[in-house]
């Protein structure tokens, strides 16, 4: 094949690709109002929604998506109750509180029952305290009420590589927690005070959500994990049970004799139907995971159980 034919073929393929992308946009479902499509998991009758909080507490677009699902559930009169399934070791302090606030607002308007999965600890448990009731598998890992921060020190590595970093600053603490040098005692005290505020907020959320004295919540908040069975005995959860039990209870609180458990899913346009959620070979998911890992190298406060993995 000569050069002209190669150029013509490439041009043709580009035109086809642009046409598919354009058609995909034209035929994509309306998302302006943030509507999610529904898929039925089981049952018949009025709708009970399953919200899933899996893996690390979401950030950025994933957080926006989760909050938009909560908002749609709250605004849709056809959603009679909600069950929140939590299988998460936690995550960022700010994101966790944003999720808790949205769920608490939902719980004031409709029955919300939480179901704790394999690991529902730290920020995962924090989110669950927004529910009216909490069901947990007896062997679940939960609790881990506390705050943690990791600060990688890269100065030694840079020295080995022969890299010197000169920091220019105005403000005594401007390069605090940069990882380029150890913390001074004064800087450590500042950060510890910040962590104390986040810790006290967590303890207060537990006390409020579980209807227990603040003193008892403090006694339970030493960072340890509890089994689901222990959590029920200590008042951190209401009953042993699984997702279906929690869904049944949510329907009962809504006064439903029968119910249909549904889940939200993203609407797909034509392009999404053709290519799926992600490009071939899992490139997007692998790249995203790498970027999330690298992002954790900065200092940040987390409600996270490290037994569930640092990343």
Instruction: Give the residue numbers marked as catalytic.
Output: 122, 174
In terms of phi and psi (left: phi > 0; alpha: psi -120 to 50; beta: otherwise), the region of 59 is beta
* Distance between CA atoms of residues 209 and 258, nearest Å: 28
Residue 113 contacts residue 132 (beta carbons within 8 Å): yes
Q: How far apart are the first and last CA of the chain?
A: 50
What's the gap between Cα 268 and its chain centre? 22
* Distance between CA atoms of residues 63 and 76, nearest Å: 20
In terms of phi and psi (left: phi > 0; alpha: psi -120 to 50; beta: otherwise), the region of 207 is alpha
- Tell me which residue of 38, 52, 40, 36 sits closest to 103, measured CA to CA: 52
């Amino acid at each position: 094949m000569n050069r002209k034919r190669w150029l013509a073929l490439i041009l043709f393929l580009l035109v086809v690709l642009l046409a598919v992308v354009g058609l995909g946009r034209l035929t994509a479902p309306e998302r302006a109002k943030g509507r999610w499509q529904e898929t039925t998991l089981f049952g018949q009758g009025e709708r009970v929604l399953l919200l899933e909080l899996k893996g690390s507490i979401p950030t950025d677009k994933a957080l926006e998506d989760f909050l938009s699902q909560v908002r749609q559930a709250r605004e849709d009169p056809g959603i009679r109750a909600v069950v929140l399934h939590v299988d998460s070791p936690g995550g960022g302090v700010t994101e966790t509180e944003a999720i808790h606030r949205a769920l608490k607002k939902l719980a004031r308007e409709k029955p919300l029952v939480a179901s704790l999965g394999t690991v529902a600890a730290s920020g995962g448990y924090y989110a669950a305290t927004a529910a009216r009731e909490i069901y947990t598998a007896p062997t679940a890992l939960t609790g881990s009420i506390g705050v943690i921060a990791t600060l990688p020190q890269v100065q030694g590595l840079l020295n080995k590589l022969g890299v010197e970093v000169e920091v220019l600053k105005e403000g005594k603490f401007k390069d605090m927690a940069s990882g380029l040098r150890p913390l001074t005692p004064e800087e450590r005290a500042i950060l510890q005070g910040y962590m104390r505020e986040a810790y006290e907020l967590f303890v207060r959320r537990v006390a409020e959500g579980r209807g227990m004295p603040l003193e008892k919540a403090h006694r339970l908040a030493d960072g340890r994990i509890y089994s689901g069975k222990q959590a029920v005995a200590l008042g951190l959860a209401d009953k042993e049970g699984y997702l279906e039990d929690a869904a049944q209870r949510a329907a009962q609180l809504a006064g439903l004799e029968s119910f249909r458990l549904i889940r939200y899913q993203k609407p797909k346009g034509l392009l999404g139907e053709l290519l799926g959620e992600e490009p071939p070979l899992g490139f997007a998911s692998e790249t995203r995971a790498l970027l999330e890992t690298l992002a954790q190298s900065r200092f940040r406060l987390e409600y996270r159980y490290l037994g569930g993995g640092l990343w």
